[in-house]
Amino acid sequence: MRRALVLPLAAFLLVFFVVPLAGLLSLAVREVEVPRALPRTLAALQGWQSPQPLPPPLWGAFAQDLVEARAASTLADAARRLNYEVNGVRSTLMRAAREADGATAGQAFDAAFFEAVDPALASTAFFAAAQRAQGPLSSYYLLASLDLVRDGQGRIERAPESHRIYLDVLLRTLSISATVTLLTLLMGFPVALLLTQVQPRTADWLMVLVLLPFWTSLLVRTAAWVVVLQKEGMVNSLLLAVGLISEPLTLLYNRTGVLVAMTHVLLPFMILPLYSVLRGIPPQYMRAAASLGAPPATAFVRVFVPLAAPGVAAGSLMVFILALGYYITPALVGGGSDQMLSYFVATYTTDTGNWGLAAALGLLMLVTTLVLYGAAHRLSRGRVMAMS
Amino acid sequence: MKRTLVTTFVTAAALALAASAALAQRDLTVVSWGGAYQDGQKEVYFKPFNAAGTKLVDESWDGGLGVLRTKIKGGNNTWDVVQVEADELEVGCDEGLYEKLDAARIGGAARYLPGTLHACGVGAIIYNLVLAYDGDKLKTAPAGWADFFDAKKIPGKRSIRNGAKWNLEIALIADGVPAADVYKVLATPAGVDRAFARLDSIKPDLVFWKSGAQPPQMLAAGDVVMTTAYNGRITAANEKDKKNFKMVWKDTPYTMDSWVIMKGTPNKANAEKLLEFMGRAENQAKLPKYVRYGVTAAAAAPLVDKSLNAELPTNPEILKQAFAENPKFWIDNGDKLAERWTKWAGTK
Instruction: Provide Rg for chain B, Cα atoms.
Output: 22
A contacts of B76 (beta carbons < 8 Å): none
Tens of pLDDT along A206-252? 999 988 888 888 889 998 999 999 988 899 999 999 999 998 898 98
Angstrom distance (rounded) from CA B347 to CA B203: 10
Residue A189 and residue A327 share a domain: yes
Residues B59 and B171 in one domain: no
The stretch B114-122 carries a mean pLDDT of: 95
At residue B23, does pLDDT exceed 90?
Answer: no
Enumerate the residues of chain A whose CB falls inside 8 A of the CB of residue B62: 350
Same domain flag for B189 and B214: yes
Q: Are A25 and A358 in contact (CB under 8 A)?
A: no
- Does A283 share its domain with A380? yes
Residue A284, Cβ neighbours under 10 Å: how many? Answer: 9
Where residue A206 sits, what CATH number does that domain have? 1.10.3720.10
User: Cα A57 to chain center, whole Å?
Assistant: 44
pLDDT over 80 at A385, yes or no: no
Question: Does A164 touch chain B if contact means CB atoms closer than 8 Å?
Answer: yes
Q: Are B318 and B128 in contact (CB under 8 A)?
A: yes
> Which residues in chain A have their CB less than 8 angstroms from residue B119's CB?
none
- Please check whether residue B202 touches A, CB under 8 A: no
B342 in the same domain as B211: yes
Q: How far apart are CA A93 and CA B91, in angstroms?
A: 12
Mean pLDDT of A363-385: 82
Q: Are the C-beta atoms of residues A278 and A241 closer than 8 Å to each other?
A: no
- The pLDDT, as a whole number, for residue B24 is 52
**Domain-embedded: residue A119:** yes
* B207 shares its domain with B273: no
Share of chain A above pLDDT 70, in %: 98
Residue A157 counted as domain residue: no
Q: Which residues, listed in sequence order, are joined to residue A324 by a DSSP beta bridge?
A: none
| Measured torsion, CA atoms of residues B183, B189, B190, B194, in degrees rounded to the nearest 10 | 70
Whole-angstrom distance, CA of residue B102 vs CA of residue B121: 9
The neighbour count for residue B240, using CB atoms within 10 Å, is 10
Question: Do A128 and A66 fall into the same domain?
Answer: yes
Q: Is residue A344 within 8 angstroms of chain B, CB to CB?
A: yes
Answer yes or no: is pLDDT of B7 > 90.
no
User: Is residue B19 one of the residues assigned to a domain?
Assistant: no
Q: What are phi and psi of B108, to 5 degrees?
A: 90, 145
Of the partner residues A76, A89, A162, the one whose CB lies closest to the CB of residue B343: A162
Contacts of A8 in chain B (CB under 8 A): 8
Domain coverage including residue A108:
31-136
CB-CB under 8 Å, A164 with B333: no
CA dihedral A28, A34, A36, A39 (to 10 degrees): -140
User: Which residue range is the domain that position B223 belongs to?
Assistant: 128-254+323-346
For A288-309, what is each residue's pLDDT tens digit?
999 999 999 999 999 999 999 9
Evaluate whether A329 touches B340 at the Cβ level (below 8 Å): no
Are residue B226 and residue B332 in the same domain, yes or no? yes
Contacts of A10 in chain B (CB under 8 A): 5
Contact A83, A89 (CB under 8 A): yes
**Which is nearest to A177 in space by CA: A315, A323, A322?**
A323
Q: How far apart are CA A234 and CA A245, in angstroms?
A: 14
Q: Are residues B40 and B120 in the same domain?
A: yes
A2 plus A35 within the same structural domain: no
B249/B133 same-domain check: yes
Q: Where are the beta strands (DSSP E) in B262-347?
A: 323-324
Among B7, B8, B194, B219, the residue to mutate for chain A (most A Cβ within 10 A)? B8
Question: For A77, which residue in chain B has the nearest alpha carbon?
Answer: B95
Return mean pLDDT, chain B: 91
Higher pLDDT, A356 or B3: A356
Residue numbers in B near A2 (CB within 8 A): none
Closest CA to A163 of B330, B171, B189: B189
Q: Answer whether A101 touches B (CB < 8 Å).
A: no
Contact between A253 and B207 using a beta-carbon 8 Å cutoff: yes
When divided into structural domains, chain B yields a total of 2
Pairing relationship of beta strands B81-84 and B253-261 according to DSSP bridges: antiparallel
What integer pLDDT is reported at residue A384 of this predicted model?
53
Model ipTM value: 0.83
Give the mean model confidence (pLDDT) for residues A167-194.
Answer: 96
Residue B5: pLDDT band (50, 70, 90) is: very low
pLDDT at residue B16 in the model: 52
Residues A201 and A112 in one domain: no
User: Taking the CB of residue B287, how many other CB atoms lie within 10 A of it?
Assistant: 24
State how far residue A272 is from chain B, nearest Cα, in angstroms.
34
Q: Is B340 on the interface with A (CB under 8 A)?
A: yes
Residue A108 has pLDDT above 90, yes or no: no
Q: Which pairing describes strands B56-60 and B28-32: parallel, antiparallel, or unpaired?
A: parallel
- In chain A, beta strands by DSSP E: 148-150, 156-158
**If DSSP codes are grouped into helix, strand and coil, which group holds residue A266?**
helix
| Amino acid type, B318 | I
Residues B139 and B196 in one domain: yes
The reply to whether A336 touches chain B by the CB within 8 Å rule is yes
Query: Is residue A355 within 8 angstroms of chain B, CB to CB?
Result: yes
Q: Does B120 share its domain with B238?
A: no
Helix (H) or strand (E) holding B255: strand B253-261
Contact (CB, 8 A) for A260 and A228 = no
Torsion of CA B202, B207, B213, B219, to 10 degrees: -70
**Which of A286, A249, A270 lies closest to A183 in space, CA to CA?**
A270
Q: Considering CB atoms only, which of B95, B335, B345 is closest to A73? A: B95
Of A100-114, A136-150, B149-163, give the lowest mean pLDDT range: A100-114
| C-beta atoms of A337 and B67 within 8 A | no
Q: Do A88 and B343 touch (CB under 8 A)?
A: no
Do residues A258 and A330 both lie within one domain?
yes
**Cα–Cα distance between B83 and B331 in angstroms, integer?**
18
Question: What is the residue type of B317?
Answer: E
Q: How many domains does chain A have?
A: 3
Question: B278: buried, middle or exposed (CB in 10 Å: 19+, 13-18, 0-12)?
Answer: buried
Question: pLDDT tens, B264-284?
Answer: 999 999 999 999 999 999 999
User: Which of A83, A230, A353 is facing B66, going by the closest CB pair?
Assistant: A353
Neighbours of B339 (CB within 10 A): 21
Q: How far apart are CA B19 and CA B16, in angstroms?
A: 5
- What is the nearest CA distance from A90 to chain B, expressed in angstroms? 5
Residue A382 confidence class, pLDDT cut points 50, 70, 90: low
Examine the domain organization and report whether A16 and A129 are in the same domain.
no
B contacts of A75 (beta carbons < 8 Å):
94
Residues of B whose CB is below 8 A from A87: 332-333, 335-336
B203 occurs within a structural domain: yes
Distance CA B236, CA B287 (A): 13
- A348 vs B: CB within 8 A: yes
| Sequence-separated (6 or more) residues with CB below 8 Å from residue A177 | A319, A320, A323, A324
**CA A350 → CA A10, A344, A347, B77, distances in Å?**
30, 10, 6, 15
Q: Check whether residue A131 and residue A188 sit in a common domain.
A: no
CA B209 centroid distance within chain: 15
**pLDDT tens-place string over residues B188-199:** 999 999 999 999
**Closest CA relative to residue B112, chosen from B256, B286, B280, B273:** B280
| Average pLDDT of the segment spanning A60-82 | 95
**Residue A207 and residue A128 share a domain:** no
Domain with residue B213: its CATH number is 3.40.190.10
Q: Is B141 helix (H, G, I), strand (E, B) or coil?
A: coil
Q: What is the mean pLDDT of residues A327-340?
A: 90
A332 CB neighbours in chain B (<8 A) are 210
Under 8 Å between Cβ of A85 and A127: no
Task: Give the up-direction half-sphere exposure of residue B170: CA atoms within 13 A in the CB hemisphere.
Answer: 32
How far apart are the C-alpha atoms of B335 and B314, rounded to whole Å?
A: 31
What residues pair up with B28 in beta bridges, in sequence order?
Answer: B56
Q: Is residue A53 part of a domain?
A: yes
Q: Say yes or no: A203 and A335 in one domain.
A: yes
Q: What SS3 class is residue B257? A: strand
Q: Which residues of A touch B66 (CB under 8 A)?
A: 348-353, 355
pLDDT band, residue B43 (cuts 50/70/90): very high
- Is A252 in contact with B342 (Cβ distance < 8 A)? no
Residues of B in contact with A80 (CB under 8 A): 91
Residue of B7, B97, B332, B333 to mutate, testing the A interface (most A Cβ within 10 Å of its Cβ) = B332
Residue A153 lies in a domain: no
| Chain A CA closest to residue B67 | A350
A117: which strand partners? none
Q: What is the DSSP string of A53-117?
A: PPPTTHHHHHHHHHHHHHHTT-HHHHHHHHHHHSTTHHHHHHHHHHHHHHSPTTPPP-HHHHHHH
Å between B102 CA and nearest CA of chain A: 18
Question: Sign of the C-alpha dihedral, residues B141, B142, B148, B151?
Answer: negative
φ/ψ bin of A26: left (φ > 0), alpha (ψ from -120 to 50), beta (otherwise): alpha
> What's the CA angle centered on B2, arms B1 and B8, to 5 degrees?
95
CA dihedral of B325, B329, B330, B336, whole degrees rounded to 10: -150
